[in-house]
Structure formats: structure tokens, C-alpha cells
Structure 1
């Protein structure tokens, strides 16, 4: 979570900032840590004790990722009610696209889809 915060904070301000932050999140969701979380979550479905621990940790990670909205939007995230919903949509779409990587889809195809999706998400978020 600290690494994510540092990477998001390091993204320079400018016209493509939202896209670059979405790229950071896409990399996080498509990386080995999130892959491990998915594996544990799937494995824990049959074990209530493990499921409770995984669910708690997954919620903490999701809160940390959602908190990156402050880095992107500052106070606008709470000042404009639709921004929170837009950010949640962007996170869901980013996570979904990144999971394609974890599932072994062809990397070139995933990257092509991601670039198109990222542009649309940035337009939604910056608009």
C-alpha cells in the first residue's frame, strides 16, 4: 500500500496525469500481489476462517486504492458526488482489464484494450 501511494504521488501533474495514474493502478491490479490475493480469495471460499482473513485484507487494499482518488482529484472527490461513483467505476474497469493479464490473455491484446479503456476512463474522470 505504501508502494502504491508513493507511485501515485510521484506521477507528475499535467494533461495526462489521470491516464498515468490509471496505468499505475492497472499495473498493481495485474501484478503478482493482486494475483496472489485472487488465488487466496478463490481458495478461501471453502474455509470460513481463511475467508474472513482474506476478505479483511482485500478490503484494506481496496480502501488504499480508493484513497488514491485524493491524489487524483483532491477535494473534488468529496465536493462532487458523481466523482466518487466515477472513480469507483474506473477502479472496477481497471481491475477487470488487469485480471485479463493474470488469466493469461495475450499481452498485446490486453494492452491494446487497456489503452482504449484508459482513454475513455480519463475522459470520464477529467470531464
Structure 2
């Protein structure tokens, strides 16, 4: 699974073949075919693995966040790292491929919905946000949408300095919105 995700992140959907993944994983083609007889089966299993890995990565990084002043910026920076790293790049490859592949689409959509719910829930928790207050749920979702968009902007060029400045500014607005009410 790690070899499949790494291949997706480095070589994209078209460069991720069962032969290349077996070679990268150091297993025989026969062993790979025994467990995953088709590229679709291999990638579907990788999609599931990828989802679990993304959720585990979020939880691991969340445990190291500071408390008090600067927490919002730290939460946003953590999320931005998730949306600019290799797991996100692999996920993007799957999203693009799933757009035109019904079998892959059927596997990717529920997984991405689950990851989206978990990301939202965790962001609410990390920010100490009260979603019973008007506008808070929307502010959290806007934050995740903003960060995902910044992750896309980072694909072709290093957008780090602009992203950090934008997120610092957004953190101030978000803190105000979360405290208002």
C-alpha cells in the first residue's frame, strides 16, 4: 500500500502500474497479483489505506499542537501541511482518475466524505469551536476549503510564504468569528 501511495504521489495515476508498484514494494509480480489481481483492486485498496493514513496523520500532528495564544495559527499550519504533502498529492491523483472511472469513483467518494467529516470534526475540536453558535460551522468549513485551495495552489510552485501570510491573517479573522456571538 505504501508503494502504491508513493507511486501515485510521484508518478500520478498513469505512471502507477501494478508492475511498477510490485517492483517498488520489493514483491514478486505473482505475489502482487495474488492479493490484487487488477490495477483497480490495488488502487481501491490503496484508497482505503490512504484514507486511514490521512486520518492518522491528522491525529498524530494534532497531539503536538500548542495551547493558548497562537493555537489557531498552529492548527491552520498543521492542516496546510496535510494539504501540501505527498498524501494529498496521491489523493488528488485518485480524485482526477475517479472523475472518469466509475469503479474508482464509487470507492473514492465515500472515503473522501468520511475523511472530510473527520477533518471537520477534528478542526472543530482543535479550535475549541462551538458549532451550536450561528456561523461557526460555516467558518470551519470555509477554513478547510481555503486550506484545500491553498494546497492546490502549491502543486506547481512553492507557495509557502504567501500561504503562511494568508493563514496568519485568516487565523485572526477566524478567532474573531469563533469568539463572536
Candidates 76, 87, 92, aligned match of 2:145: 92
4+ runs deviating over 4 angstroms? none
Structure-2 change in CA distance of 1:125 and 1:35 (3 Å) = farther
Structure-2 change in CA distance of 1:100 and 1:119 (3 Å) = farther
8 Å contact from structure 1 (residues 18, 122) kept in 2: yes
Superposed CA RMSD in Å reads: 2.1
Q: 2:135 maps to which residue?
A: 82
8 Å contact from structure 1 (residues 100, 110) kept in 2: no
Structure 1: gaps of 5 or more residues: none
Structure-2 change in CA distance of 1:34 and 1:73 (3 Å) = same
Structure-2 change in CA distance of 1:119 and 1:30 (3 Å) = farther
TM-score norm. by structure 2 comes to 0.60
- CA drift of 1:114 comes to 3.5
Structure-2 change in CA distance of 1:16 and 1:111 (3 Å) = closer
- Between the aligned partners of 2:101 and 2:108, the Cα distance in structure 1 is 11
More contact order relative to length (CA 8 Å, sep ≥ 6): 1
1:11 partnered with 2:32: no
Q: 1:125 maps to which residue?
A: 178
- CA drift of 1:105 comes to 4.8
- CA drift of 1:96 comes to 1.2
- Between the aligned partners of 2:56 and 2:159, the Cα distance in structure 1 is 30
Structure 2: gaps of 5 or more residues: 1-54
1:102 partnered with 2:155: yes
Q: 1:22 maps to which residue?
A: 76
Count of residues in Structure 1 that have an aligned counterpart in Structure 2: 125
